[in-house]
Amino acid sequence: MTARSARILVVDDEPGMLRAVERVLSSDHHVIGTRLSRAALSIADEFQPDLAIVDIRMPDLDGFELMAQLKARFPALDVILMTGSVDDLDEKLVRAIRSAAFYFIQKPFDRRVLLTLVQRCLELRRLTADNLRHVTRLESELREARAFQESLFGRVERLSGCRSREVDPSPRSRCCAWS
């Protein structure tokens, strides 16, 4: 996934905010928006988003419930929660952090803030994926090296006549791991 090809699901019951977020992000990303939180689940199943931007206060499923259901289906999905409500703002922020939201943003927000936040999220996703590929490759190389070392040890045992991995310290013994 490149930053330009990210699939972003936007869920907000306010049509103006939904259009604004779609307009800001659609020039660089593949964006699908919906006003219905339950519909977002079926859209996500088909769309397979890299990132979801979800309003907290919505009818049917609130943003926290929707995020939980999306993350249950897509564990690697990053979610940015947004709210226009000033009621219990700190409580919502703490809940967002504890719920493993990538970020919490208050509406209205500057388009540059949204673009920068999305860019940072996608960059971290790319780095995490690169790191996972690197670790997987290293683990594979270590398994191969270990198998090679064990095959060499087996040859040494056969050549020296050893039947065990223990070394007989007596000078007359032919059974030595270093033979």
Positive/negative CA dihedral, 170, 174, 176, 179: positive
Between CA 100 and CA 64 the distance in angstroms is 10
Q: How confident is the model at residue 99 (pLDDT cuts 50, 70, 90)?
A: confident
More confident residue, 59 or 167: 59
Contact 51, 79 (CB under 8 A): yes
- pLDDT tens-digit profile of 106-151? 888 899 999 999 999 999 999 999 999 999 999 999 999 998 888 8
Which pairing describes strands 78-83 and 103-106: parallel, antiparallel, or unpaired?
Answer: parallel
pLDDT of 162: 58
What percent of the chain is predicted at pLDDT more than 70?
85
- The pLDDT of 156-168, averaged and rounded, is 62
Q: How many helices (H) and strands (E) does the chain have?
A: 5, 5
3-state secondary structure of 85: coil
Contact 46, 7 (CB under 8 A): no
Residue 13 has pLDDT above 70, yes or no: yes
With tokens 């045992």, the residue in question is 157
Residue 45 has pLDDT above 90, yes or no: yes
Phi, psi of 104 (to 5 degrees): -130, 125
pLDDT of 88: 78
- Strand-pairing partners, residue 83, are 106
Contact 49, 29 (CB under 8 A): no
pLDDT of 179: 46
- Structural domains present in the chain: 3-132 (3.40.50.2300)
Average pLDDT, the chain: 86
State pTM to two decimals: 0.73
